[in-house]
Amino acid sequence: MVAPVDTSAGGGGSAAPGRGPSRRSWTAWLVVAPFLAYVGTFLLYPTALVLAGAFQDDDGAFTLATLATLTEGVYLQAFLRSVQLSALTALLGAVLGALLSWAVASGKPEGVTRKVVLAASGVLAQFGGVPLAFAFLATVGFQGLVTRFLADTFGVDLFATGAWLFELPGLTLVYTFFQIPLMVIVFLPAVDGLRPQWREATESLGGSGWTYWRHVGGPILLPAFLGSALLLFANAFSAYATAAALVSQGSPIVPLQIRGFLTGEVLLGQENLGKALGLGMIVVVGVTMGLYALLQRRFARWQ
Amino acid sequence: MIHNRALRVVGAGAVALALVTACGAPPAKDGGNAASGGNAASAKSAADLGGMDKLVEEAKKEGALNVIALPPDWANYGEMIKAFGDKYGIEVKSDQPDASSQDEINAAERLKGSDRAPDVFDLGLNVAIANADKFAPYKVATWDDIPAELKDADGRHFADYGGFMSIGYDASKVPAPTSVKDLLKPEYKGKVALNGDPTQAGAAFSGVLMASLGNGGSADDIAPGVEFFKQLKAAGNFLPVDPTPATIESGQTPVVIDWDYTNAAQTAKLAGKLDWKTVVPQDAQVGAYYNQAVNVDAPHPAAARLWQEFVMSDEGQNIYLKGMSRPVRMDAMTAAGTVDTAAAAALPATGDKSVYQTQAQADKAKQALAATWAQAVG
């Protein structure tokens, strides 16, 4: 059998030119089928439901009124608060996490500090939800250990200004707790990628520390930093369980408002408004992903 | 994004469960229907099946009952479930005890066709009225004792027990409140909790109505109640914590606005640890009833109907009463002399100026609340 000119880039593709590709694509589909079924069931189907519901009224007719409601009062505020909370905790997490990463990277590669920080980050980045909320309630809640210690020993009332732990300041504090370790996990590889030779080269050419960061280290780390910050933003924006366990009054952020529409027993028949809020969240996360993609493209040529 | 991982695990679990129940459901259903001949699912009263004895027989054949959203310390449901199970030898499977009324309906839709779907519901009036087409009409033997305004004419849902909005408090930490306005005093700083978000939880909604009545409002006007909570927050007295038995026991929520039967249940539970007392403010008596209904797709239709008969019998109604909730047949039972007088005497005192909101009034209040609550406490 005379093999035709093999135009495929990979050398491995010419093993069985006659029937290989079709069988391979068939088995490839088979292998990927569970994943597609999974994505279809838990991502595409729910997204389609949310999209459809957002444009329907209670009787199933098409309407834009539900979406228009989002621009009003409490819903708009919830979006603003959600974005504010996510942006603030992403910024705090990104800056503090980056500093921590840098500190770890400049230490000994096999040092104890590095091992401890990495292990702790791995655990703490996943330590969200009810356990985290409970941990904060038990330490700085109204009857928390730290609260009572401060009150009994120094006469300091942590809640003198109000129930901040159960409002946005509290959510910011609690979210930052899992944002910093996440930043360390996603950003440390980039910092590790900085070669000491670059610094030495800068210095031998007469550059200062500032020159190095301004012209070498900074530009190299910037895309990874911004990308990580966007990831942190999306992480906070979609977090639900932590806030749900902590805040039971007023539903300040979007995920909590959606909860109200789905499980509330007082105001009924507002599921579609909940779906419209969900659509709003999809848009925000979509924009975040778009920015991420743009960032990747912009900086790809540097790598 | 990281938190999606937990969701994925739940999702995978849900698929696994769906597969398991899909496999498990058919035999159970066939067995149940073959035994009962399918009569129980359409029976509108025990007489349709040939009397109580026949109903008991059918229910025993089914052998199980799925209930949902019945916390053991709420209206004495712990004892109710045990008494029913022991009396008829039926296994009662209690799912999601802390779920809301809307969760009950959601669960019924999600589990439709499986033998794990809830058989019976215990619902707030809003949810009962909104979902009446999902209930099988059934009239219990004691149907005539239920006041007409507290039952659906077709028997799809009817009141089972009720109570009054109350203030529960730790008597060792705060002075006894006598009116709603008392809670604004400095003695209650950082101590007053409401059971849930009133735009979501029925009990909290009635709590705001109670606050309204105590501040010059009426069943038609909930605004003074919202204003009261705004003042309560401004004074630093309002606790944005969802009270639970655990928060009460640990002292996090020393004052709790909730139904008198749930507050009273804490008194019994915490006896010896905390001096938990319950008061129904005389200037603001808000009453409401919960409602019983049978799932139209109940996997155990006979057991579901027998449960209705049981909770509405003298025995079942007295079990509610022992849990400090007020059984809907209380007047009839008092007249007939079948009421548990000791339990009746232990109820928190109420006067005769009680308010039961009509559906129209409630709808109006809900709209007002939706527009103003988040701003007031946010």
Q: What is the pLDDT of residues A242-280, one digit of tens each?
A: 888 888 887 788 998 888 888 887 877 778 888 899 999
| Cα three-residue angle A291-A296-A300, rounded to 5 degrees | 155
Give the pLDDT mean for B261-281.
88
Residue B26 confidence (pLDDT): 39
- The verdict on a CB contact (< 8 Å) between A265 and B2 is no
Which range (A201-205, A295-299, B125-129) has the least confidence?
A: A295-299
Q: What is the pLDDT of residues A115-126, one digit of tens each?
A: 999 999 999 988
- The verdict on a CB contact (< 8 Å) between B239 and A163 is yes
Distance CA B301, CA B120 (A): 9
Which range (B40-44, B301-305, B320-324, B345-349) has the least confidence?
A: B345-349
Distance CA A79, CA A57 (A): 22
Q: What is the pLDDT of residues B77-134, one digit of tens each?
A: 999 999 999 999 999 999 988 888 888 999 999 999 999 999 999 998 888 998 999 9
Give the pLDDT mean for B305-313.
96
Give the pLDDT mean for A90-100.
95
Is residue B146 very low, low, confident or very high in pLDDT (cuts 50, 70, 90)? very high
Q: Which of the two residues, B7 and A287, has the higher pLDDT score?
A: A287
Is residue A287 very low, low, confident or very high in pLDDT (cuts 50, 70, 90)? very high
Which range (A150-154, B141-145, B300-304) has the least confidence?
A: A150-154
Q: What beta strand segments (E) does chain A contain?
A: none
Residue B149 confidence (pLDDT): 86
Give the pLDDT mean for A15-42.
77
Least CB-CB distance to B250: which of A126, A143, A238?
A143
Helix H segments across A106-167? 112-124, 130-140, 145-154
A59 Cβ under 8 Å from any chain B Cβ: no
Domain ranges of chain A: 72-298
Beta B158-170 vs B255-259: how paired, if at all?
A: antiparallel
- The verdict on a CB contact (< 8 Å) between A265 and B15 is no
Least CB-CB distance to A250: which of B3, B197, B205?
B197
Which range (A35-39, B144-148, B359-363) has the least confidence?
A: B359-363
- The verdict on a CB contact (< 8 Å) between B374 and A234 is no
- The verdict on a CB contact (< 8 Å) between A266 and B251 is no
Which domains can be identified in chain B, with CATH numbers? 4-17+27-162+288-345 (3.40.190.10), 164-286+351-376 (3.40.190.10)
- Write down the architecture of domain A72-298 according to CATH: Orthogonal Bundle (1.10)
- The verdict on a CB contact (< 8 Å) between B3 and A143 is no
Strand partners, B295: B135
A239 Cβ under 8 Å from any chain B Cβ: yes
- The verdict on a CB contact (< 8 Å) between B252 and A141 is yes
Contacts with B205 from chain A: Cβ below 8 Å? 266
Give the pLDDT mean for B164-184.
93
Residue B175 confidence (pLDDT): 94
A250 Cβ under 8 Å from any chain B Cβ: yes
Distance CA B272, CA B270 (A): 6
Which of A249, A254, A258 is the best residue to mutate to test the B interface, defined by the most B CB atoms within 10 Å of its own CB? A249
Least CB-CB distance to A264: which of B4, B15, B102?
B102
Any idea which residue has 């008991």 for tokens? B56
The encoded tokens of residue B362 equal: 């409630």
pLDDT over threshold 90, residue A299:
no
Residue B5 confidence (pLDDT): 44
Strand partners, B93: B66
Give the pLDDT mean for B314-334.
93
- The verdict on a CB contact (< 8 Å) between A265 and B127 is yes
Least CB-CB distance to A263: which of B100, B242, B371?
B100
pLDDT over threshold 50, residue A12:
no
Least CB-CB distance to B1: which of A235, A260, A265?
A235
Residue B176 confidence (pLDDT): 93
Residue B353 confidence (pLDDT): 81
The encoded tokens of residue B328 equal: 């809907």
- Nearest of A148, A63, A253 to residue B378 by alpha carbon: A253
pLDDT over threshold 70, residue B1:
no
Which range (A70-74, A254-258, B63-67, B304-308) has the least confidence?
A: A70-74
Least CB-CB distance to B3: which of A143, A238, A268?
A238
Give the pLDDT mean for B335-362.
87
pLDDT, mean over chain B: 86
Which range (A51-65, A122-136, B32-46) has the least confidence?
A: B32-46
pLDDT over threshold 80, residue B336:
yes
Size of interface A-B (CB pairs under 8 A): 123
pLDDT, mean over chain A: 84
Give the pLDDT mean for A98-123.
88
pLDDT over threshold 50, residue B23:
no
Is residue A23 very low, low, confident or very high in pLDDT (cuts 50, 70, 90)? low
pLDDT over threshold 50, residue B313:
yes
Nearest-Cα distance to chain B for A132, in Å, is: 13
Which residue of chain A comes nearest to B5, CA vs CA? Answer: A126
| Cα three-residue angle A88-A251-A86, rounded to 5 degrees | 15
Nearest-Cα distance to chain A for B374, in Å, is: 5
Contacts with A263 from chain B: Cβ below 8 Å? 100, 102-103, 106, 200
Least CB-CB distance to A249: which of B3, B7, B377?
B377
Is residue B232 very low, low, confident or very high in pLDDT (cuts 50, 70, 90)? very high
Q: What beta strand segments (E) does chain B contain?
A: 64-68, 91-95, 120-123, 135-136, 158-170, 192-194, 238-239, 255-259, 276-279, 286-295, 326-327, 355-356
Nearest-Cα distance to chain A for B80, in Å, is: 24
A191 Cβ under 8 Å from any chain B Cβ: no
Give the pLDDT mean for A31-35.
91
Distance CA A296, CA B377 (A): 43
User: pTM (2 decimals)?
Assistant: 0.76
Q: What is the DSSP letter of B261?
A: H
pLDDT over threshold 90, residue B356:
no
Which range (A30-39, A66-75, B204-213) has the least confidence?
A: A66-75
Using the CB atoms, write b or e for B67-99: b if 16+ within 10 Å: bbbbbbbbbbbbebbebbeeebebebbbbeeeb
Is residue B17 very low, low, confident or very high in pLDDT (cuts 50, 70, 90)? very low
Which of B102, B170, B364 is the best residue to mutate to test the A interface, defined by the most A CB atoms within 10 Å of its own CB? B102
The encoded tokens of residue B243 equal: 């009270």
- The verdict on a CB contact (< 8 Å) between A265 and B238 is no
Nearest-Cα distance to chain A for B295, in Å, is: 18
Which range (A46-55, A63-72, A278-287) has the least confidence?
A: A63-72
Is residue B38 very low, low, confident or very high in pLDDT (cuts 50, 70, 90)? low
Share of chain B above pLDDT 90, in %: 56
Q: Which of the two residues, B12 and B266, has the higher pLDDT score?
A: B266
